[in-house]
Amino acid sequence: MKVIGQDTPRVDGEALVRGNSVFADDIKLNNVLHVKILHSPVAHANILNIDVSKAQALEGVEAVFTHKDFTTHYYTTAGQGYPEPGPRDMRILDSTVRFVGDRVAFVAAKTLEIAEQALSLIEVEYEELPTIFDMEEAMTADIVLHSESGKTGIHDAAHNVGAHLEAELGHVDKALESSKYVFEGTYSTPFVQMASIEPHISLTWMDENNRLVIRTSTQVPFHVRRIVAEVMGIPVGRIRVIKPRIGGGFGGKQEILNEELVAAVTLKTGKPARIEYTRAEELFAARLRHPELVTFRLGFDKNQILTAIDLNILENCGAYGPHALTVMSVTAQKALSMYKAPSIRVNGDGVYTNLPIGGAYRGYGAPQAFFPLESLMDEAASAMNIDPIELRLKNIFKVGDDIPIAKILGEGREGFPMVLYSTEVAACLKQGRELSGWDKLRGQKQNGRYRRGIGVAVAGQGSGIPGIDMGSAFIKMNEDASFNLQVGATDIGTGSDTALAQIAAEVLGVPVDKIIVYSSDTDMTPFDTGAYASSTTYISGSAVKKAAENCKTMILEQGRLLLDDTEAVIEGTFVSGGVGDKISFEDICTKSFYTDEQKQIMGTASHMSYDSPPPFNATFAEVEVDTLTGTVRVIKIVSVTDAGQIINPKMAEGQIEGGIPQALGMTLSEFMPFDEKGRAINLDLNSYHIYTAKDMPELVVRFAESHEPTGPYGAKAVAEIPINAPAPAVANAVYNAVGVRIKHLPIRPEVLLAGIGKAD
């Protein structure tokens, strides 16, 4: 291959480094109205009265909206395929607020300062209601958070269970009873925030044809169009959604967060509108990773082969449940697709509380799965006196294996049969073992204040949602043998526009600079479900490959007609006949436009797959524990990934290097405490500690040679897989260093010190 597997520069790279106007807010609109939201100061209350008269009277205020301005229509803000599998439990504005940060009202004014002043003039009388912050207590408390009629998809409103999950294959209880070894552990992961550099920002205006245009920082432009049309009560055809460059999404922008608000302003006033979240709003009013309390029971026979896996999930949805069912489904599906056991079972409940809303975040339930699973696998290895790597190698799925859980459990829906056509977990572990110095470091005796340890974890993910995700592409040829590639796929900074251009260029036999990419505009590009579930390369890339092949077929047909040679073939960028005649791509296109065989050379295609081949990863972490302070410093991370054929190595490496600090943040520093009233305490990046460049350990990133037969040119996904394994690898390394098993993230110095005291 000439283009696939090469470090091709990004197609948008020059525009980005030059600081050109490419992001959502890089546009100047005349007479734009600035929109600000009045967020609830209380965690649970009925709004008895809301007086907006003073705000409306303020000079420069154009509109004020309260719950009285909207119908009782319930919807979901989850940017997912229709029909969305989660609860429809939210309104644009409601007469009941359910967390500190819930929307009470919003205003539109001529300046941001006036809008903020108007918020202070709105007078609200609240009837405070009892609150519930603990997800275990929520299921038995005499408090019901969602009792209104009209809401759909809630599993058990009376017990605050937004979503429920259960599945079993085999006989788990019987298998555990007859197992030689049984290990059980309960672990938890916390609320964490995506902390994208670019906050949520959306702009709207009416175009010259009186159609609503939404320019927004989103991962899901087509879902935005559908949901805004629904809640505004206007036809889809009256809406155009434009997705420009995105300054980070990580799942947080798989949400219809504020697009409906600015749409309401523009539809009412006829004027452009703009909303931008502050960093504080991002932290308390956007979306967070769902905390989960997860219990695993693992049964092994005398040969350390798994006999059963029993999984119980308790998920904190927060006040609403847009992703309640699907995140929990992924926790189960990914965990139970890693190791082969004849009997498996999962039970899960997604529970409402009066805390901020859980949403999509990179990994989407898988990090919550692999921290407990890989921690317990290490505990089992220690108890059974077997090397942790060897225990994993004994039990992983192999090529040709059927993955039973896939048949019965998809993302909120019934699954599809899945056979594993490619896996290089063993190769990942072998490489990582060598690169990390595992055998040397593992057995070193530790003493003194600073103690080092090494840990390992493996993880899987998926490549799109089988039977649901669909991408499409259109490609047309120009007279200079350049090609316009139009895709609905959403580049959120991952470089997917470049990867798709590489796929098209490889098919057509032209350089990448001959592929002109235009993506994510609901008027101008074909449909795509959007950038989530690690789907773009696998799903949208397959659509691009098909479209380019169709276009190439048409080039050959036209070349044969122009040469009058039915046996002519494509050679490079020429169609060559049998007697030495040949015609260039340029001439084929030009003559197709202007001669007797006039037509546009083009190709279109769509792609949906019932397969979702898992990429795999092995992460090795070397840590240093300060036994005086309880702090943990990560010295080195070795991350080896099986992502099939790598389309662009530098971009893929960037994906791995970007996922690791997010995982380390959840492991060691990111935490969202709330006070007794449910108010978030950490509301800026000085107090909410994401991992930064100065915190980073040495990174060693490698890829295993692999080929996925169902993917475009053998590719699988790479975007989410690196975030899943670092947390358990670090926790396992801490145990190796000081003998303390951490079961609740983040790792806190006081907890570690208490454990060291007991261990010593």
d(CA 216, CA 200): 8
In a domain, 710, yes or no: yes
d(CA 97, CA 104): 7
Radius of gyration in angstroms for the set of CA atoms belonging to the chain, rounded to a whole number: 27
- CATH code for position 597: 3.30.365.10
The single-letter code of the amino acid at 360 is A
State yes or no: pLDDT of 760 exceeds 70: no
Confidence of residue 578 (pLDDT cuts 50, 70, 90): confident
The single-letter code of the amino acid at 697 is P
Q: Are residues 481 and 587 in the same domain?
A: yes
What would the pLDDT profile of 661-677 be if each residue is shown by its tens digit?
999 999 999 999 999 99
State yes or no: pLDDT of 363 exceeds 70: yes
In a domain, 148, yes or no: no
In a domain, 214, yes or no: no
d(CA 557, CA 589): 12
In a domain, 234, yes or no: no
| Phi-psi category of residue 689: left, alpha or beta, with phi > 0 → left and psi -120 to 50 → alpha | beta
Q: Which domain holds residue 64?
A: 31-129
Q: Are residues 597 and 701 in the same domain?
A: no
**What pTM does this model have?**
0.97
What would the pLDDT profile of 678-690 be if each residue is shown by its tens digit?
999 999 999 999 9
Q: Are residues 537 and 637 in the same domain?
A: no
Q: What is the average per-residue pLDDT within 423-441?
A: 97
d(CA 112, CA 116): 6
Q: Are residues 635 and 666 in the same domain?
A: yes
Q: What is the pLDDT at residue 419?
A: 96
274: its two tokens: 């703009």
Q: What is the pLDDT at residue 615?
A: 98
Q: Are residues 680 and 596 in the same domain?
A: no
Q: Are residues 303 and 397 in the same domain?
A: yes
What would the pLDDT profile of 270-284 be if each residue is shown by its tens digit?
999 999 999 999 999
Confidence of residue 74 (pLDDT cuts 50, 70, 90): very high
| Residues with Cβ within 8 Å of residue 71, at least 6 apart in sequence | none
What would the pLDDT profile of 201-252 be if each residue is shown by its tens digit?
999 999 999 999 999 999 999 999 999 999 999 999 999 999 999 999 999 9
What would the pLDDT profile of 437-488 be if each residue is shown by its tens digit?
999 999 888 889 999 999 999 999 999 999 999 999 999 999 999 999 999 9
Q: 276, 259, 275, 268: which is closest to 206 by C-alpha?
A: 268
Q: 723, 726, 728, 756: which is closest to 625 by C-alpha?
A: 756
d(CA 357, CA 321): 7
What would the pLDDT profile of 633-645 be if each residue is shown by its tens digit?
999 999 999 999 9
| Residues with Cβ within 8 Å of residue 17, at least 6 apart in sequence | none
Q: Are residues 509 and 396 in the same domain?
A: no
Q: Are residues 590 and 654 in the same domain?
A: no
Share of the chain above pLDDT 90, in %: 96
Would you tell me the crossing angle of helices 221-232 and 259-269 to the nearest 10 degrees? Answer: 50
Q: What is the average per-residue pLDDT within 317-335?
A: 97
Q: What is the mean pLDDT of the chain?
A: 97
Q: Which long-range contacts (CB under 8 A, 24 or more apart) does 140-148 make?
A: 145/44, 145/98, 145/319, 145/352, 145/353, 145/354, 146/87, 146/89, 146/352, 148/96
352: its two tokens: 């409402």
SS3 string, 464-475, reads CCCCCCEEEEEE
Q: How many domains does the chain have?
A: 3
Q: What is the average per-residue pLDDT within 592-614?
A: 94
Return the exposure string of 738-754: e unless at least 16 CB atoms fall within 10 Å of the residue's CB, then b. bebbbbebbbbeeebbe
State yes or no: pLDDT of 596 exceeds 80: no
| Residues with Cβ within 8 Å of residue 287, at least 6 apart in sequence | 194, 251, 252, 255, 257, 356, 357, 358, 359, 360, 361
What would the pLDDT profile of 81-90 be if each residue is shown by its tens digit?
999 999 999 9
Q: What are phi and psi of 392, to 5 degrees?
A: -65, -45
**Within 13 Å and on the Cβ side, how many CA atoms surround 515?**
33
In a domain, 97, yes or no: yes
Residue that is last in its domain, among 103, 129, 155 = 129
Contact 251, 323 (CB under 8 A): no
Q: Are residues 408 and 473 in the same domain?
A: no
In a domain, 270, yes or no: no
Residue that is last in its domain, among 129, 164, 186 = 129
101: its two tokens: 């940060």
Confidence of residue 413 (pLDDT cuts 50, 70, 90): confident
Question: What are the residue ranges of helices labelled H in 384-457?
Answer: 388-395, 405-408, 425-436, 438-442
State yes or no: pLDDT of 759 exceeds 90: no
In a domain, 94, yes or no: yes
State yes or no: pLDDT of 597 exceeds 90: no
Residue that is last in its domain, among 608, 627, 644 = 608
d(CA 742, CA 751): 8
Q: Are residues 425 and 487 in the same domain?
A: no
- CATH code for position 107: 3.90.1170.50
Q: Are residues 534 and 424 in the same domain?
A: no
Contact 444, 622 (CB under 8 A): no
Contact 554, 476 (CB under 8 A): no
Q: Are residues 668 and 528 in the same domain?
A: no
Dump strand ranges (E) for 110-199. Answer: 123-128, 161-169, 181-189
In a domain, 660, yes or no: yes
Q: How far is CA 125 from CA 39, 49, 130, 188, 309, in A?
A: 14, 5, 16, 38, 51
